[in-house]
């Protein structure tokens, strides 16, 4: 299917959905038509395309949001659930904003953030740090999905290279 074919198919689909109609794009998410020219992402399927290997308009939410903007539609995000290949994951509302530093001093910072398509999330399986690979997070961080800020680790690595 060419890009033009994909755009035309998407337009036919969106225009034919009734308000309240649901479209599930496997591997990207579930959308609901919420107004005359408005689609709302209500469910994210995190693991669809490997970055840099996208081949289709339907590989990533951001591509669909760009298309929506270009054709006069609005794309909104009101995510209720998110899934990975391992199943559903949730971010505890009471933990949003919590921050922890890897206790192995690799420079990684873990942050609990609301689920969005713009972020990459890491599961701290048994507290293992995704930067250094060691068990650097306490029990209350085990198996949480977090955003990792690795700028500190990058600065440490850069300093070591200079020495």
Domain range list for the chain: 3-89, 93-162
Please state the rounded mean pLDDT for residues 120-132: 90
Q: pLDDT value at position 49?
A: 53
pLDDT digits (tens, 9 = 90+) for 12-50: 999 999 999 999 998 888 999 999 999 999 998 875 555
Question: For the whole model, what pTM was predicted?
Answer: 0.63
pLDDT digits (tens, 9 = 90+) for 73-108: 999 999 888 887 677 777 888 999 999 999 999 999
43 strand-pairing partners:
30, 81
Q: How many residues does the chain have?
A: 163
Cα 32 to its chain centre, rounded Å, is 18
Q: How far apart are CA 32 and CA 58, in angstroms?
A: 16
Name residues whose C-beta falls within 8 Å of residue 72's C-beta, 6 or more positions apart in sequence.
37
pLDDT at residue 149 above 70? yes
């Amino acid at each position: 299917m060419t890009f033009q074919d994909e755009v035309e198919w998407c337009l036919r689909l969106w225009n034919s959905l009734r308000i309240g109609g649901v479209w599930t794009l496997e591997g990207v998410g579930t959308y609901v038509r919420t107004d005359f020219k408005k689609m709302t992402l209500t469910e994210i399927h995190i693991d669809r395309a490997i970055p840099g290997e996208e081949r289709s308009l339907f590989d990533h939410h951001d591509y669909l949001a760009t298309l929506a903007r270009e054709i006069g539609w609005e794309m909104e995000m009101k995510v209720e659930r998110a899934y990975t290949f391992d199943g559903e994951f949730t971010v505890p509302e009471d933990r949003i904003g919590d921050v922890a530093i890897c206790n192995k001093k690799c420079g990684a910072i873990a942050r609990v953030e609301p689920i969005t398509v713009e972020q990459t999330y890491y599961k701290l399986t048994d507290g293992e740090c995704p930067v250094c690979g060691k068990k650097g997070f306490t029990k209350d961080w085990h198996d949480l999905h977090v955003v990792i800020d690795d700028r500190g680790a990058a600065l440490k690595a850069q300093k070591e290279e200079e020495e």
